[in-house]
Amino acid sequence: MTATTHSPASTEAPLAPGTARIGFIGLGNMGSGMTRNLQAAGYQLVVNDVRQESAADLIANGAEWAANAAAVAASSDVVITMLPTPKHVEAVAMGPGGILEGLSDGGTWVDMSTSVPEVANRVREAGAARGIRVLDAPVSGMSVGAASGMLQIFVGGDTGDVARLRPVFEAMGDPERILHVGGHGAGYAVKLMINQLWFSHLVATAEVLSTGVKAGVDLEVLRQALIASPANSNFVQNDVLSILNHGDYDEGFAIALACKDLGLSVDLARSVGVPVELSSLVEQLYRRAKALYGDTAGEMTPVKLYEDAIGMQLRTAAEGA
């Protein structure tokens, strides 16, 4: 089915369910859960993905399929992208049949991908005379958070636009953790810094647990001692349990995308002139794990580098529980 043309809402009222049409491009690990929650909240959806089959359930529940990004943009009040890399964002936003072609005057594009400001800036500049609005609103919370509608969302853009989009964000995220973090590009920067620190925690935790266990300390005794110490972190206390208890390295976020995020983070540091030796090392370790275990391995797979080094898996007695 091809989308029909539709004028964007003329008022600046918040885009409430039942009245607003949301375009959504990128129905992967994250986008599939986010669109299901938008639909459940009562938004009419217009969707597109290179994999049309990814839209089957949404269409069965009343979403409209559009042939390309321009058609999505032409028939929506706001168009959202949730795409793998800046290259994909550029193709969808500015390529032939892209968002810029389809957006009506005054239309809005929100990029929720983990990306960089360059493409959004170019769309904003190209669309300035037509009143086109662009926001960056990347997310944290893994595919589990996307599915449960509890994402954390970091929004960069104008205050009025953020207020207008708030109900849309609330359909996908935790209302307490939808943060307007600054002007255009601030959302992308905050998201990259969060991932950089989390991936750094992962590598540091893998080193410490492997060394301690190899030195003869019980894994869970060591972890509890770390939790009770000033060295505690959310990763030690919570996230690492996915591996220790279940052998789950989180394939919901591919290591290829983690490497993309780390590369963008190091690039950002370079562009603002900050030396980041530790971040660069973490990026290289991630790239080594990607080369060894494959692009689709989970984002926590670098822990395996250390498990391989000590010749054992880091698992608690509760594994499989």
Q: Which residues are catalytic?
A: 191
50 counts as binding ligand NAD under rule CB under 6 A? yes
Strands 21-25 and 78-81: parallel
How far apart, in whole angstroms, are the C-alpha atoms of residue 210 and residue 244?
A: 12
Among 29, 104, 196, 265, binds ligand NAD (CB under 6 A): 29
83 counts as binding ligand NAD under rule CB under 6 A? yes
Among 21, 36, 88, 164, binds ligand NAD (CB under 6 A): 88
How far apart, in whole angstroms, are the C-alpha atoms of residue 199 and residue 195?
A: 6
- Would you tell me the crossing angle of helices 86-94 and 117-127 to the nearest 10 degrees? 10
Q: How far is the CB of 12 from ligand NAD (least distance, A)?
A: 28
Among 44, 104, 108, 143, binds ligand NAD (CB under 6 A): 143
Instruction: Find the residue with minimal CB distance to ligand NAD.
Output: 28
What number of chain residues touch ligand NAD (CB under 6 A)? 28
Q: How far is the CB of 144 from ligand NAD (least distance, A)?
A: 8
Q: How far is the CB of 229 from ligand NAD (least distance, A)?
A: 29
Residue 61 tokens read as 């529940």
37 counts as binding ligand NAD under rule CB under 6 A? no
Handedness of CA 27, 33, 38, 42 (dihedral sign): positive
Region near ligand NAD per CB under 6 A, out of 7-15, 19-27, 70-78, 196-204:
19-27
26 counts as binding ligand NAD under rule CB under 6 A? yes
Q: How far is the CB of 165 from ligand NAD (least distance, A)?
A: 18
Q: Which of 244, 214, 212 is nearest to 225 (CA)?
A: 212
Provide DSSP, 82-99: --SSHHHHHHHHHSTT-H
How far apart, in whole angstroms, are the C-alpha atoms of residue 198 and residue 178?
A: 19
Among 46, 92, 244, 262, binds ligand NAD (CB under 6 A): 92
193 counts as binding ligand NAD under rule CB under 6 A? no
**Other Cβ atoms closer than 10 A to 87:** 12
Provide DSSP, 130-184: GT-EEEE--EESHHHHHHHT-EEEEEES-HHHHHHHHHHHHHHEEEEEEEEEEST
Q: Which residues contact 201 (CB under 8 A, 6 or more apart)?
A: 233, 234, 235, 236
Among 54, 121, 280, 316, binds ligand NAD (CB under 6 A): 54
Residue whose CB is less far from ligand NAD, 91 or 208: 91
Region near ligand NAD per CB under 6 A, out of 45-53, 162-170, 171-179, 289-297:
45-53
257 counts as binding ligand NAD under rule CB under 6 A? yes
How far apart, in whole angstroms, are the C-alpha atoms of residue 77 and residue 9?
A: 6
Q: How far is the CB of 244 from ligand NAD (least distance, A)?
A: 19
Q: How far is the CB of 195 from ligand NAD (least distance, A)?
A: 8
Among 22, 49, 65, 210, binds ligand NAD (CB under 6 A): 49
In three-state secondary structure terms, 15 is coil
Contact in structure between 140 and 152 (CB atoms under 8 Å): yes
**Residues 225-244 within binding reach of ligand NAD (CB under 6 A):** none
How far apart, in whole angstroms, are the C-alpha atoms of residue 309 and residue 265?
A: 27
Contact residues for ligand NAD, defined by CB under 6 A: 25-31, 48-51, 54, 82-84, 88, 91-92, 113-114, 139-140, 142-143, 252-253, 257, 261
